[in-house]
A and B are shown apart, each in its own frame.
Chain A
Amino acid sequence: MKSLIAFYNILKKDIKNYYLKPPNISWGIIFPLSWTLMQLLRSPDDNILNLLPGLISTSVLFGTTSMLAVTITFERSGRSFERLLLAPISLNVLLLAKITGTIVFGIFNAFVPIVFASILIDLSTVNWMMVLLAVLMMAITSSLTGLLIAVSVEQVFEAQTLANFFRFPMLFLCGLFIPLSSLPAFLKPVSYCLPLTYGADILKGAITDNNAFSLTLSLIMLLLFTAGLFIISRYNIKKRQ
């Protein structure tokens, strides 16, 4: 019960202090919206359904990694994160509370291009359960990537630099813009080591029925990434103590 009170209040504090701030709300809406418009203007004849998996994935990836990498690094530099570490709650509860807010923010980000697309085209062929599953798993793995970045650096600007170091290669190697089959042989192993590859593949399957891997394989890989990123982040925090 005590852990639950702490979990809920950390989550509530993060949502109030960070995610519901006007700049972040506008970032959560404007960024996916401008990304969507950019893609549509660049190739107006392209099928919106084909663009949707990429737009959703980009929105989730940028929304989650930016938020968590910055908020935790910010709290660490102001030493308020130390206050959380010294509370009588387990590190697992603390980290889950910190990433839950980001996951919700990531899911919110994902639905901006979906709402926009629903105005322009018929989305009745989309498998929404799979979309939700993919968005959730992508939000979890991207949040954990943000967490890993946050606990590995000292300053906010370092977090942004490191986040970009992960995000941009991930975006171009995950099979969204360049199909995995068209990637040079030496890059394929890299792409198989990216969580976004599997999340985006579930999305492609759910929206255009054009997935490269089976749903089971993608889910197993995403769960493995979730566990791996969580354990490494936890280890990094412990190592600093």
Chain B
Amino acid sequence: MIKVKNLTRRYGDFVAVDDISFDIEKGEIFGFLGPNGAGKTTTINMMIGLSKPAAGDITINDINVIRHPKQAQSIMGIVADESNLYNEMDGFDNLCFCGALYGMNRKERELKARELLALFKLQDAGRKPFKTYSKGMKRRLTIAAALIHSPKILFLDEPTTGIDVESSRQIRDLIIKLKNQGTTIFMTTHYIEEAQRLCDRLAFIVEGRIVASGTVLQLMNSVTHNHSLHLLTSKDAKDCISEFEACFKGCKMEIESADSLVIVSEKRLPLLPILQFFQKKDIEVYEARELQPSLEDVFVKVTGIESSVLKQEKGGRL
């Protein structure tokens, strides 16, 4: 559906996007995760035909975006990182105006505008000026405006930045609904949890370069070499460390506290022999849980950027 090849954008000597390539399949949610200034918005701006790349190619649904931006824009829905509708106009008129920009006739756009107001739970605010909306409502109407012409591809630049938790949740639910209806979605975000929850595939972008990409599982596996098993026990197991390590070759036991320990091994461990070992030592095991690294751990490990940097930059959450 979307093919991006060797895309580069420079501002003078500064390289904002540096030779990036990726493909997005039809009906997929693909996310760009990175800190401010990483090149997320610059990339999206080139993909939607708002700015021209210094080098590279972008093809969307077999349309070359650089050569035929207007043709490509007709199948795109675009949500900028700011809610950029018209303050003086009400919600309904804003949606109808956006429909008119895509050449929809009056009947079509009014019908679709009503549908979208209902879908985004904005019926009651439909006749109120956009300037009176809360941030979350503005964001929802901006996304609705991008859907007025039923686009095949939706570009979302930081869709939930700076809005309340309830609106964020509604927007995430809508994104999943759109994906289920077959819409291909490209989104940028600096919220790790949001990326993990929504995206089929992800790319970490830092200083204009993609440093890692793949499914959440692939990204996690790329940095996980050991398996860790966390146990909650009835008493301290520090006296049986050496016996355990002798019994289970290649395993390492680390005591966390008086009632918890972690067993680390290169292979995945069967649970029963371990439980039996502790039973013989008169230690009850109340809980056994395999520890997985979070996407946040993966991001930090791959990019070298602490997740707190992402948090601080836009006052966001993780």
Contacts and interface: CB of A to CB of B under 8 A. Distances in A.
Specify whether A and B are partners. Answer: yes
Interface of A: 1-3, 5-6, 8-10, 13, 17, 78-80, 82-90, 241
Contact of A85 (B50, B97, B104, B105): B50
B74 A88 contact: yes
B297 interface: no
B100 A86 contact: no
Given A82-B80, A86-B49, A86-B73, A13 B103 contact: no
Given A5-B104, A6-B101, A88-B71, A241 B50 contact: yes
Nearest to B74: A88
B51 A5 contact: no
Interface of B: 48-52, 70-71, 73-74, 76, 78, 80, 82, 84-89, 97-98, 100-105
A233 to B, nearest CB: 18
Given A6-B103, A86-B78, A80 B84 contact: yes
13 contacts: A1-B103, A2-B103, A10-B101, A17-B88, A78-B84, A80-B85, A80-B86, A82-B80, A82-B84, A86-B76, A86-B78, A87-B73, A88-B73
Nearest to A2: B103
Contact of A83 (B74, B98, B103): B98
Interface centre among A8, A13, A82, A88 (most CB of B within 10 A): A88
B103 A3 contact: yes
A8 B74 CA distance: 18
A9 B97 contact: yes
- Specify the main secondary structure of chain A where it touches its partner: helix
Nearest to B103: A2
Top 5 A-B pairs ranked by shortest CB distance? A2-B103, A9-B100, A87-B101, A88-B74, A79-B84
A75 to B, nearest CB: 8
Interface centre among B52, B73, B100 (most CB of A within 10 A): B100
Contact of A241 (B52, B86, B104, B105): B52
Contacts of A13: 86, 89, 97
B86 A17 contact: yes
A84 B101 contact: yes
B102 A2 contact: yes
A4 to B, nearest CB: 8
Contacts of A84: 101
A16 B89 CA distance: 9
A86 B105 contact: no
A73 B78 CA distance: 21
A241 B54 CA distance: 11
A83 B103 CA distance: 14
Interface centre among B48, B80, B84 (most CB of A within 10 A): B84
Contacts of A241: 50-52
B166 to A, nearest CB: 25
